[in-house]
Amino acid sequence: MLMSATARWSYTNDATIWRQGPRDPVTREPTWGAPTTIKCTFETSGGVQTDDNGQEFVPADTVWHEDPTPISVGDRIVIGESLTDDEPPSRAKTIRKLGTWDMSFFGETPDHAIYTG
């Protein structure tokens, strides 16, 4: 992925994401897409957020990134690279909220935030 000048110096860590697929028709358990890695920076904890259901929560992690790959509420994330796991490991956190910031004033693509529960 081509990163902006700001992202190249600020997004120096990795995070691994598993996208949630459809539920298994028999077990009703979620299925997971192959893990992918994004470049990011992160903060453990963060300020109070409100999810799509109006519930307030304090994020376990806030992850900032510039990757345009679609990420959704309900997907799982681990700080660091973890591409050997077909399914999210137990340490993976659920994505509860997403945010986007306009970076056009720098001539750059938008930045995104992931808030975990």
| Residue 4: per-residue pLDDT | 64
Q: How does residue 1 score in pLDDT terms, banded at 50, 70 and 90?
A: low
108 is in which domain, residue-wise?
Answer: 5-116
Q: What average pLDDT does the segment 8-28 reach? A: 89
Average pLDDT over residues 29-52: 91
Question: pLDDT tens digits for 69-83?
Answer: 899 999 999 999 887
Residues 21-48, buried b or exposed e (16+ Cβ, 10 A)?
A: eeeeeeeeebebeebeebbbebeeebee
CATH of the domain at 106: 2.40.10
- DSSP annotation of 11 reads -
Q: 84 Cβ partners below 8 Å, 6+ apart?
A: none
Structural domains counted in the chain: 1
